[in-house]
Amino acid sequence: MKRFLLRLFVWALVPILLLFSLFAGILIRTGELTSPDQLIQDTLAGKTTLVEPLYFGGEFQNWYKAQVAWAKGAEVLVLGTSRTMQIRGCMLPGAESFYNGGGGISDLDELLDYLSRFEEEKLPRLLILGLDQYFFNSVWSGCEEAIPWNYGSSPMNPLASTVDAIRRYGWGSYSLRAVLSAAPGCVGLPACARQRGFSPDGSYHYGLDAEDGAVDLTFDDARRRITSGVSRFEYGDTVNPNALDRLDEVLTFCDEKGISVIGFFPPYAPSIGAIMQQSGNYSYIDQLPQQVGALFSRHESGVALYDFTYMEGVSDEQFVDGFHGGDLVYAEMLRRMAADGGPLAELTDDATLAALIAGAKNPRVIEPAG
Q: Which of 13-27, 98-112, 191-205, 228-242 has the lowest mean pLDDT?
A: 13-27
DSSP-derived letter for residue 105 is -
- Given a cut of 70, whether residue 75 has pLDDT beyond it is yes
3-state secondary structure at position 343: helix
Cα 63 to Cα 68: distance, rounded to the nearest angstrom? 9
Structural domain spans, the chain: 2-358
21-66 residue pLDDT tens: 888 888 989 999 888 889 999 999 999 999 999 887 667 888 899 9
Residue 170: CA count within 13 A, CB half-sphere: 7
Q: Where do the DSSP E strands lie in 254-351?
A: 260-265, 302-307, 319-321, 324-325
Cα 56 to Cα 61: distance, rounded to the nearest angstrom? 9
Cβ-proximal residues to 189 (8 Å cutoff; 6+ apart), any chain: 26, 27, 30, 32, 53, 54, 55, 165, 168, 174, 179
For residues 286-308, average pLDDT: 97
Q: Which of 131-145, 170-184, 217-231 has the lowest mean pLDDT?
A: 131-145
Residue of 202, 5, 4 lying closest to 104 (CA atoms): 202
- Given a cut of 50, whether residue 345 has pLDDT beyond it is yes
Q: Which of 104-108, 315-319, 352-356 has the lowest mean pLDDT?
A: 104-108
Instruction: Decide: 129 and 264 in contact? Cβ < 8 Å.
Output: yes
* CA 6 centroid distance within chain: 52
Residue 370 pLDDT level (bands cut at 50, 70, 90)? very low
